Structure formats: structure tokens, C-alpha cells
């Protein structure tokens, strides 16, 4: 393996280790109410889109298999946090969106989680390092910096 390949694998291992450490730290807090972090992730993902999503679209943005996501969607719908609506482009299809309760729940948890993330990350990184991290992560995600954040410049 080349030096670049070894460095890439070392960086990947560091990224995964950092992710695991921080996810454990976040999971150990009491901000989640009666949701799991994965359930919150589904609510958060739906909150980012102005239009309802098909389950296949949703599955591209969360770390769950399609069957596990389908079961979770059923549970979240039973709890009144999301709803299914017919897909106007496909009479057999269904689209998912947050209910008012789901949106309120996501916002309540989201505010606390955002503060938690900010504390954890800023405790370890300088402003320049945060900028570098954002640039690198969005580049690896296959996108430039999100356009809704004026503090982050595009690569």
C-alpha cells in the first residue's frame, strides 16, 4: 500500500473513532426524551426537507436498513410524530412528513443537541480547525458547504 493509502486509512480510522466517541458521549445525556438517537435522526432528516419524502429518499440519509427504517417509521407514525401521505406522482407511493407534534419534538431536542455538539466540538478544536473539519467533511460528503451557513466557506 502506498504512503497516501496508509494515510487515508489512518485518517478514516481517526474519523470513525472520533464519531464513535462522540456518539457515545451524546447518547449518555438525557436530552432525547422518549426517543432513541436513531429515531431523532429520522425526525431531523425529515425536518430538513420542505416537501414530504419517500421512504427510499429518507433511507439515503439515515444509517438504517430499509426494513429497519420501515419498522421505525411505523412506530413514529403510531406515536403521532410523522404521517404518511399519498405521493401525487405515484398513486401507489407514500410520502413521509413530520406532524406538528413531530416538528415540535424535533425542535426541542434539536436545540439541546445542537448546543451539546457545539460544546463537545469547540472544546477540542480551534475556529480554524472547525473550518478545516467542515470543509473536509462536506467535501467527503460529495457537496460543498451548506448554503444556509454563511460562516462556512465553500471549498
Q: If the chain, 155 residues long, is cut into consecutive pieces of 10 residues, what is the mean pLDDT of each piece?
A: 93 95 92 93 96 92 92 96 90 91 97 96 95 93 64 43
Model's pTM, two decimal places? 0.84
Q: Which fold has domain 23-140?
A: Arc Repressor Mutant, subunit A (1.10.10)
Residue 83 burial (10 A CB sphere; 0-12, 13-18, 19+): middle
Reduce the DSSP state of residue 94 to 3 states and report it. strand
Q: Are 45 and 82 in contact (CB under 8 A)?
A: no
The whole-number pLDDT of residue 144 equals: 64
CA distances from 102 to 35, 38, 82 (A): 11, 14, 6
Amino acid at each position: 500500500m502506498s504512503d497516501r493509502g496508509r494515510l487515508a486509512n489512518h485518517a478514516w480510522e481517526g474519523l470513525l473513532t472520533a464519531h464513535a466517541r462522540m456518539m457515545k458521549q451524546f447518547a449518555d445525556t438525557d436530552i432525547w426524551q422518549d426517543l432513541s438517537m436513531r429515531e431523532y435522526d429520522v425526525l431531523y432528516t425529515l425536518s430538513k426537507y420542505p416537501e414530504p419524502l419517500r421512504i427510499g429518499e429518507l433511507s439515503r440519509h439515515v444509517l438504517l436498513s430499509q426494513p429497519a427504517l420501515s419498522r421505525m417509521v411505523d412506530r413514529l407514525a403510531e406515536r403521532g410524530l410523522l404521517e404518511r401521505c399519498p405521493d401525487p406522482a405515484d398513486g401507489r407511493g407514500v410520502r413521509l412528513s413530520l406532524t406538528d407534534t413531530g416538528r415540535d419534538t424535533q425542535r426541542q431536542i434539536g436545540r439541546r443537541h445542537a448546543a451539546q455538539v457545539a460544546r463537545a466540538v469547540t472544546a477540542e478544536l480551534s475556529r480554524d480547525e472547525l473550518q478545516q473539519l467542515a470543509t473536509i467533511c462536506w467535501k467527503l460528503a460529495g457537496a460543498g458547504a451548506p448554503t444556509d451557513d454563511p460562516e462556512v466557506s465553500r471549498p
